[in-house]
Structure 1
Amino acid sequence: MNKTLISSVVVLVGMQFFEIFFHREAVSHYTKSLIFAYIFLIISVLILLNNKLIAYKEEIMRREKEAQYERLNLYTRQVEQMYQTVRGFKHDYKNMLISLEESIRTGNIDEVRFLFHEILIRANVALSEGENIDDLSYLENPALKSLLYHKLMEATRDGVEVVIEIKQEIRDVKMDLLDFVRLLSVLLDNAIEAAKMASRPRLTLAIVQDKGRHIVYVSNSKAEGLVPIHRIYQKDYSTKGSNRGTGLFNVQEIVERFNHVMLETEQTEDTFTQIVYIGG
């Protein structure tokens, strides 16, 4: 319901009340004027609050779009940097092969060994720089690409070993994009934070599309011990201290808005897993 429609409904209800109440002869003119002023004030406040709420929601969406745009730019710059790295490697690789051919022809075994290991070292550097984001190319939506890239780089910088499994084209996710991005953001933020507390920080993200249904799998290592799953979705509950505990509560609210979305939570002594089923 938009702002104009809500305002119209409030005004219409107020007018109907005036029409019924003001036809009563027993009510004095002063009383009618006073009640009119109060009701007019209440209607004005309601309309103002409604406008403020709509403006707040629009501001949230604007900020999220700006964040998505910035993450997309970051992702694009990183892909361009990877392209330049591989391009430079191909040039160096060609020159080293020419040198290797000459060393083999002259029988310089020490030079052959050196060039061979140099090629292997450079190849490993070139490939390892792109291994974390290769699978993101299967995501059709640039906002999802940029979000996952941002989270992946954040986890890697914090010393978390990241495994991504996206081996097929992912498109037409049957969720509002903003809700899907918010849901993934919370799950990944929690997974990264928990993984950093583990003896071996590790995060696994997999996205699968099967017969119109999407499955998102987020698993992380954690400190040993079990968390109370029946409580983690409650508002203000957190195992991480005060002023926390809204993330998973918001995730639960998002999931409940869609009758074709389901969330499962699993854990062992040292792993925590969230599985989201969308569609189907």
Structure 2
Amino acid sequence: MNFFFWAFSLLNYLIVFGSLFYLLRIRPTPKMLAITLLCNIIIAISAIYLAPFQWVALILSVLLSGMFFYYITKKSIAFLHSIIILLLLIPVEYASLLLVKSFHLPLAIHVLLIITLFMFVLYLYKKLMDTMACLPLKIELLLILMATMTFIIFYITVFMDNLSLSLFHFSRLLLYLIFLFVMIIIVLQTVRKEAILEQKELTQQSFYEYTIQLEQMNREIRQVQHDYSNILLAIRGYIEQENMEGLKNYFEKVTSTTQSPSIHSLQQLENIQLPELKGLLSAKIVKAHHLSIQINVEVPNAIEYLFIESIDSVRLIGILFDNAIEASVQHPTPQIELAILTISANKQLLIIRNTTTQSYNDIAKIFEENYSTKKNNQGLGLYTVQQFVTQHRNIMLNTYVEGEWFVQEMLIERGGEDANRNI
């Protein structure tokens, strides 16, 4: 009994908790391992000593694993993964038993078959979920409901009806599972299309703002050209009178008035060769100038493309810059520093720093869903950014406070499906 208990407990731990660590890309710490092992022992005990009530162990598995991983990730999708893992396990175990029965295989082969088949279907499920960087909460709840209904059907079909081992019954289970995943794919594709449309609207808005800024710059340049002859005549008058002090004062006045924030912002962004990104940043910089925020931009090398998709780069940088404006405008000397650096052929670094008056005792809280430093939760928040970064291995975000400066450093590496030269 002891051997059976520990063998079952170990197998259950590897399947349930090991899969969740893998799906959520969490590197387990000793504390996490200790807590999950304790949860697993509770699940194993309930499964063995409450064998007639198998649903108790299943519910405990979903609740304990889901709540733990939700606690450490703040992602409700942990509950979806917990249910899907059990859903995948049922047909995998059924298929393994069918193979063992058909070919009279030993018990060790049965366990090996379960692990091998489960790892394969788990990998396919992860590839499917990786297609979406961030799912809205209502979509996650819908998928959890769909998975729960499918799981209830599986439970009634397999456990309550004492489903016999046959290829026909296995096909039924497989059809149920395929139907669920087809529905999940349809939902994900719908969400993806909506996200693309939303980003296209954002990009179009950036283009529009960029066009407005260009028109304003053209008007300012024409005005400078119109006044140019008068400026030269005035300079000539100072020279003829040999009034060097007056000429110096006049020259400083002329250069300060002709070099407007709009023209200056365009000069700072001349190395960015992505029209949508240049348009977004130009609009944000001019907005910051209007709020009397001092801006410093450093783009020493030509940026022809980023290693993330265009719509994602516009969205992420827009959120980071808007948050910088919101925070720095409250500071006595508001400042924002932006740098886009090419570290190597395969690495790019984006840095946004802003002065702030806020204190960040627990900086991790700013990445929580619905977190805001403004009244009535009207702030922008960084939850979306964090969700995107979590889902993309080629992006690393480092957030910290340095004196009066709030710093966001985003390292982007060239990597497979996330690299896009057509940005």
CA distance in 2, matches of 1:93, 1:245: 45
Structure 2 portions without partners, runs of 5+: 1-127, 132-156, 158-174, 415-423
Aligned position for 2:354? 220
1:67-107 CA distances to partner (integer Å, 9 max, x unpaired)?
322322322332343244234424533443245436644x4
2:213 is the counterpart of 1:70:
no
Task: Check whether the contact 1:224–1:269 (CA below 8 A) recurs between aligned residues.
Answer: no
Check 1:269–1:115 CA distance in 2 against 1; reply closer, same or farther (3 A cut). closer
**What CA distance in whole angstroms lies between the structure 2 residues aligned with 1:46 and 1:91?**
66
Higher normalized helix content (fraction of residues): 2
Partner of 1:101: 236
> Match of 2:342?
209
What is aligned with 1:178? 311
Q: Could you give the per-residue CA deviations for residues 7-61 of structure 1, whole angstroms, max 9, x where no partner exists?
A: xxxxxxxxxxxxxx9xxxxxxxxxxxxxxxxx99xx6x99788656544432332
* Distance change >3 Å, CA 248–CA 147, structure 1 → 2: same
Structure-2 separation of matches of 1:205 and 1:103:
40
The 5-angstrom pairing of residues 190-205 of structure 1 reads 190-205=323-338
Alignment of 1:85-234 (within 5 A): 85-98=220-233, 100-101=235-236, 104-105=239-240, 107=241, 117-129=249-261, 130-212=263-345, 213-223=347-357, 225-234=359-368
Look up the SS of the partner of 1:81 in the other structure.
Answer: helix
Which AA in structure 2 matches 1:86?
I
Shift of 1:266: 1.6
- Cα distance in 2 for partners of 1:125, 1:245 equals 35
- 1:216/1:104 CA distance change after superposition, 3 Å: closer
Kindly indicate whether the alpha-carbon contact (under 8 Å) linking 1:151 and 1:188 is maintained by their aligned counterparts in 2.
yes
Q: CA deviation at 1:221?
A: 0.9
Shift of 1:66: 2.6
d(CA) in 1 for partners of 2:257 and 2:195? 40
AA at the equivalent of 1:72: F
Identity %: 27
Q: How has the CA–CA distance of structure 1 residues 116 and 273 changed in structure 2, closer, same or farther, with 3 Å as cutoff?
A: closer
Q: Does 112-121 or 85-94 show the bigger shift?
A: 112-121
Please give the TM-score of this superposition, normalised by the length of structure 1. 0.71
Look up the match of 1:277.
411
Equivalent-residue separation in structure 2 for 1:200 and 1:102 (angstroms): 39
Change (3 A) 1:219 1:158: same
| TM superposition shift of 1:65 | 1.5
Distance 1:86 1:56, change over 3 A: same
Counterparts of 1:194 and 1:99 in 2: how far apart (Å)? 44
Please report the RMSD computed on the Cα atoms of aligned residues, expressed in angstroms. 3.5
Q: Do the aligned partners of residues 124 and 149 (structure 1) sit closer, same or farther apart at CA in structure 2, a change above 3 Å counting? A: same
Offset of residue 245 of structure 1: 7.5
Q: Which has the higher contact order (CA 8 A, sep 6+)?
A: 1
CA–CA separation in structure 2 for the residues paired with 1:99 and 1:237: 57
Corresponding residue of 2:192: 57
Residue ranges of structure 1 left out of the alignment (5+ in a row): 3-20, 22-38
Quote how far apart the aligned CAs of 1:232 are.
Answer: 2.4
Secondary structure, counterpart of 1:134 in structure 2 = helix
For residue 391 of structure 2, the aligned residue among 240, 252, 257 is: 257
Give, as a single letter, the amino acid of the residue that structure 2 aligns with 1:268.
E
CA contact (8 A) 2:371 2:381 kept: no
AA at the equivalent of 2:207 = L
